[in-house]
């Protein structure tokens, strides 16, 4: 794989960098480091370039650690949500079965009601015939 070569300007100095990453990406990193280092040097004008570079490295490491913590928190949130989805799916399936069972029971009761009403009508008709004679 070919290495890409870019020149990055960080804190007023040019650095020739070679890497496997795309040039755009390396430029983006250079701009990020330059911004951080320039900000530190602006706030602490007595700092040497080396000290500013160390402080920049610490700030970038802090940003990285916080991003990793955030990623871990988000992954935990995602895992919790996945578990919640599974719980809801199981509850949904249970409710579907219960609904199906209740629909079947309702259907059976409707049939029983129709049969009982028919028997009642027949019994009334028989009673009427018996009382008329």
What average pLDDT is seen over the chain?
Answer: 96
Given the structure tokens 């804190």, which residue do they identify?
11
- Greatest Cα pair distance, the chain, in angstroms, is 125
Q: What is the DSSP letter of 20?
A: S
Give the per-residue pLDDT at 132. 84
Which of 60, 64, 61, 52 lies closest to 10, judged by CA? 52
Backbone angles phi, psi at 123, to 5 degrees: -65, -40
Give the per-residue pLDDT at 83. 99
pLDDT tens sequence across 54-105: 999 999 999 999 999 999 999 999 999 999 999 999 999 999 999 999 999 9
Give the per-residue pLDDT at 71. 99
What are the angstrom distances between the C-alpha of 74 and each of 17, 32, 60? 33, 24, 21
What pTM was computed for the model?
Answer: 0.66
pLDDT tens sequence across 105-116: 999 999 999 999
The H or E element containing residue 129 is: helix 49-132
């Amino acid at each position: 794989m070919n290495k890409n070569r870019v020149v990055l300007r960080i804190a007023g100095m040019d650095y020739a960098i070679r890497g496997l990453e795309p040039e755009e990406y390396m430029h983006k990193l250079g701009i990020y480091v330059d911004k951080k280092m320039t900000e530190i040097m602006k706030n602490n004008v007595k700092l040497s370039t080396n000290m500013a570079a160390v402080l920049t490295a610490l700030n970038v490491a802090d940003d990285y650690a916080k991003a990793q913590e955030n990623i871990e928190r988000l992954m935990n949130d995602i895992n919790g949500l996945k578990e919640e989805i599974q719980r809801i799916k199981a509850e949904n399936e249970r409710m579907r079965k219960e609904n199906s069972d209740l629909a079947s029971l309702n259907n059976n009761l409707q049939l029983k009601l129709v049969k009982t009403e028919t028997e009642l009508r027949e019994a009334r008709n028989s009673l009427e015939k018996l009382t008329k004679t």
